[in-house]
Amino acid sequence: NAGVTQTPKFQVLKTGQSMTLQCAQDMNHNSMYWYRQDPGMGLRLIYYSASEGTTDKGEVPNGYNVSRLNKREFSLRLESAAPSQTSVYFCASWVYYNEQFFGPGTRLTVL
Amino acid sequence: KQEVTQIPAALSVPEGENLVLNCSFTDSAIYNLQWFRQDPGKGLTSLLLIQSSQREQTSGRLNASLDKSSGRSTLYIAASQPGDSATYLCAVIGTGGGADGLTFGKGTHLIIQP
């Protein structure tokens, strides 16, 4: 079991560029999440997918889009990156009565 | 809106001490509470999960308690070691089925001095 995997691990973008962060889980979990972690702000929820075929906004969705490609995969897209999106991005998955499992994170810098 | 507060924000103690990290939350209608550890530049490692119907959970030298009615949880670390140095995060899931994600505290940065 690989758990939750994320690609890439590191990325540097210029303002206005686009990119997609990939996440996959092999635990057959229904729910998947994208969080961002910033110094002094803690972890905040960007988007979540309660089940395959559904997505919903979290606390800080502006500037992002998501796709739940299938039960395993949940991607996060930045259409036009801004310096304010410099952060560490974590993907997580969850099933009822269990703990959330997190991926190793993607460290994104937008210049 | 649920808010999670962790006290203290930072703690430095000598090796061997027993210590307590505190977590409080404003809305007692939670589904469960989870404690994580995060090492610098790394991801989150789940330490303990406490369901809303439980009072405590133990794993090795770690013991977490939950008092849902007062909105408090504590993480007790026995016989601390330098390898325990990390940031400890507390997070809760609301009773909306839990599918709407965790609400995190900002963490306690713990340093254990050799």
pLDDT at A107 (0 to 100): 97
C-beta separation of B16 from B65 below 8 A: no
Between CA A92 and CA A103 the distance in angstroms is: 6
A59: amino acid identity, one letter: E
Summarize pLDDT for A18-64 with one digit per residue, the tens. 999 999 999 999 999 999 999 888 899 999 998 888 999 999 999 99
Name the residue among A42, A51, A98 with its Cβ closest to that of B104: A42
Give the number of other Cβ atoms within 10 Å of residue A40's Cβ.
5
Nearest C-alpha neighbor of B89 from the set B99, B75, B70: B75
Q: Is it the case that residue B13 has pLDDT exceeding 90?
A: yes
Give me the residue label for tokens 């949880």: B73
Q: Is it the case that residue B98 has pLDDT exceeding 70?
A: no
pLDDT > 90: percent of chain A: 83
Shortest distance, CA A7 to any CA of chain B (angstroms): 13
Shortest distance, CA A95 to any CA of chain B (angstroms): 8
The phi and psi torsions of B105 (rounded to 5 degrees) equal -80, 175
Q: Which residues contact A110 (CB under 8 A, 6 or more apart)?
A: A12, A13, A14, A15, A81, A82, A83, A84, A85, A86
Question: A100, A107, A109: best mutation site toward chain B, by most B Cβ within 10 Å?
Answer: A100
Between CA B62 and CA A92 the distance in angstroms is: 23
Summarize pLDDT for B15-63 with one digit per residue, the tens. 999 999 999 999 988 889 999 999 998 999 999 999 989 999 999 999 9
pLDDT at B29 (0 to 100): 87
* Residue A84 pLDDT level (bands cut at 50, 70, 90): very high
